[in-house]
Structure 1
Amino acid sequence: MNHPTDPSILIAAVHARAVNVPLEYPVRTSVGVIATAPLVLIDLHASDGSIGRAYLFTYTPLALEATRQMVTALGEVLKGQPLAPFDLDRLLAQRLRLLGRTGLAGMACAGLDMAAWDALAVARGLPLVELLGGRRRPIAAYDSHSLDGVELGVQRAERAVAQGFGAIKTKVGYATLAEDLRVVRALRQAIGDDTQLLVDYNQGLAGPEAVRRIHALEGEGIGWVEEPTLQEDYAGHARIRAQVRLPIQMGENWCGPDEMAKALEAGACDLVMPDAMKIGGVTGWLRAAALAQARGLPMSSHIFHEVSVHLLAVTPTCHLLERMDLAGPVLTEPLAFENGSAIAPPQPGTGIAWNEEAVRRFEVRAC
């Protein structure tokens, strides 16, 4: 085998498959319900035999085939290129200059970036975190829940506390403020005072209503309020932030570090939580982490916990890892959590490997 840094290690092929995976609990939000996890599974083959794997989450099955095709098409652009992720990122940026790297194109680029980094780490025989210059260490996580109401919400919260999680997140934005408070207070009673309680409005409120509801939550021991209004309204978030005492969290919908920079310049948030897919994969995450470090902002993750556990370990302002298992049913070894934390697995790469029997069961083939 060639030395991993040898430029003769090239990208030989990229394969993409679509699956629609069941969720233990549907993801209920104030703006809609995600009943299943539609995923595009990526296998990037290098000329030395290394394989890099990653997945994309398309939110709706309607986007599965289009995303799979975009990954396949951009994979053809990368064939024959050296396995050098920063160079690949520049190449894709150049090829998509006129179209832009947002939407499905941006997601596809991020998936290829994550797969390329995974392949490079496999080629070097290192876990991704070590390839990036960090070390495997426990990363504190929060258990991420939905708009569950009181009965299911309390049941899930008690289970999370029993599993050792020091923080849970619930989605709010019920029809009335009274219902928000009823759920939040029931969860607080269930988890006690030592467990952090985080809330997420999923962009569901207009500015004045967001201020009203957040003021009402200020005596409930809330750790952060996530996306109270439209995520692209950075000025609106800044106005809300100026009028409330609770920390404002956002970032899962930033499409690349440039959008993150605009939000930070507007003073839109106290905390940041990029999404590994939307921020631009490993390469985009590293750039985002530098922006957070420059402003001293705690940085958490949004879904994709298999890769995020590696990335947070090299993030200077590392805060919390989101535990939300989207891909577990199609993985041979889902990421393990112990006492409310996760550690990047010791095998080379990210540790993502497909359970092929499950992939066949949940695969969605183009008509």
Structure 2
Amino acid sequence: MTTIARIDTATAALPLPAPLHLGAMTVTRREYSAVQATADDGTNGVAYCLSREAPMAEIVDRLVAVHAVGADADDPAETWGEMLRGSAIVGRVGLVRRAIGLVDIALWDIAARRAGVPLWTLLGTGDGPRESMLVAAYPSADRTSREVADEVLVQADGWTNVKISRMPDPAYMRDLLAMLNAELPATTGLVVDVGFGWPDADTALTEIAQWGDPRLAWLEDPLLPEDAEGVARIRRESGLPVSVGDEVTDPAVLKALVEVGGVDVLRLDVVAIGGVTPAREMIAWAAERGVPVSGHVYPEVTAHLGIGVETFARGVNPYDPAPSFILGGPSFEGRVRPTDAAGLGFALDPTVFRFERD
């Protein structure tokens, strides 16, 4: 039996050219944590995530890796259970689950590479084009709504949806949404990401009423995901489709959103939910209930899962520098197609991530 010989970690922080404001958050840099798993036959698997300034590499090193080393390299689902049980005393959700997710993704990469097939083959999701969402603009007070609309429009052709963040200025949003609704291609939907920026449904509904009559593919993350009833009320009273789920680590929270009728689209973060192993279960559960799933970032992994893929413009951009260190991966041409290369089909730039080894 081929086993996992070691788990190595690395962290890299890349500055943004200007502060990014989303909901209640201000982001001045993107810090990424990465894992490289190695089987005793030399096969490597990788994964990365936004650390959100949390000590992800340290959590992997101290709490998770020990439960993966020595495991069967061809059975990542069984190893996932060992990692969860082994770290259960300190956390089955939250940062520990994200750390498990990082390792799990790398282990699936190894399993598919050893089988000589792309991960989508191992998962049975096929290689058809995935619905796609381009994160197109973050409006700011120093740019007019016309400037932001033009930034979105120049990128929009061919994508299933384009996404902008909410500006907490209703008049600005009214103008911007009116422009985009009038000028976007008929085949491209518009998503507004609130980033959990509203404290309650009353505040949300009051502000939405000032946006005019926007046509949205969905309104994303209006409230904290634990407020399933509040989300359902926004959906019901605003008449807008709603999606929630970014950064959620507890499957029960996602299920509650669906069960109360609060979401038209379920958002799924493959790292936060704990990796490919639980993501497959969550996607199947949602499919049984007729709820489509949209992946939150990490398009190089999400493309293999057979769900909607979210990405930023490829190449270095003001919002997300990850494409600058991703070598390989899916094709991004409006609709996203997973790579035919074995495993996840991408590598991490070794000049950015220097994995520490004993």
TM-score (norm 1): 0.86
Label 1:133 to 1:193 Cα distance change in 2 as closer, same or farther (>3 A): closer
Deviation at 1:145, TM superposition (A): 3.3
Deviation at 1:105, TM superposition (A): 0.8
Is 2:267 aligned against 1:287?
A: no
1:98 and 1:213 map into 2 onto residues whose CA distance is 42
1:147 to 138, 145, 164: 138
**Residues of 2 paired with 1:50 and 1:323: CA distance?**
28
Q: Which residue of 1 aligns with 2:206?
A: 212
Q: How does 1:260-279 map to 2 (within 5 A)?
A: 260-279=254-273
| 2:72 matched residue in structure 1 | 82
2:178 aligned residue: 185
Q: Deviations over 1:155-186 (max 9, x none)?
A: 43123125x32421111141x32122122223
State the match for 2:88 in structure 1.
Answer: 97
Shift of 1:15: 0.3
Closer/same/farther in 2, CA of residues 290 and 218 from structure 1, 3 Å limit = farther
Match of 1:109 in 2: 100
1:247–1:32: structure 2 CA closer, same or farther, 3 Å change rule?
Answer: same
What secondary structure, in the 3-state scheme, does the structure 2 residue paired with 1:237 have? helix
CA distance in 1, matches of 2:349, 2:26: 27
Cα distance in 1 for partners of 2:250, 2:41 equals 31
Q: Which runs of 5+ in 2 are unaligned?
A: 313-319
Which deviates more, 41-50 or 328-337? 328-337
Query: Retained in 2: the 8 A contact 1:140–1:342?
Result: yes
Offset, 1:38:
0.8
Query: Equivalent of 1:68, from 57, 71, 91?
Result: 57
Name the SS for the 1:160 alignment partner: coil
Matched, 1:321 2:312: no
* Residue of structure 1 in register with 2:153 after alignment: 158
Question: What does 1:310-349 align with in structure 2 at a 5 Å threshold?
Answer: 310-311=304-305, 313=306, 318=307, 320-324=308-312, 326-333=321-328, 335-338=330-333, 340-349=334-343
Give 2:30's aligned amino acid. A
Cα RMSD of the aligned pairs, angstroms, is: 2.2
CA contact (8 A) 1:329 1:358 kept: no
Structure 1's 333 and 22: CA in aligned 2 closer, same or farther, altered over 3 A? farther
% identity of equivalent residues: 26
CA distance in 2, matches of 1:268, 1:72: 38
Report the AA paired with residue 267 of structure 2.
M
| Amino acid paired to 1:323 | T
Q: Is the 8 A contact 2:221 2:246 kept in 1?
A: no
Q: How many pairs align?
A: 342
Q: Normalised by the size of structure 2, how large is the TM-score?
A: 0.89
CA distance in 2, matches of 1:137, 1:25: 37
Residues in 2 aligned to 1:134 and 1:302: alpha-carbon distance in whole angstroms: 18
Gaps of 5+ in 1: 1-7
CA deviations over 1:183-205 (Å, ceiling 9, x no partner): 22233344244421111111112
Q: Which has the higher helix share?
A: 1
TM-aligned CA deviation for residue 359 of structure 1: 3.5
**In the alignment, which of 23, 37, 43 is matched to residue 44 of structure 1?**
37
Matched, 1:247 2:238: no
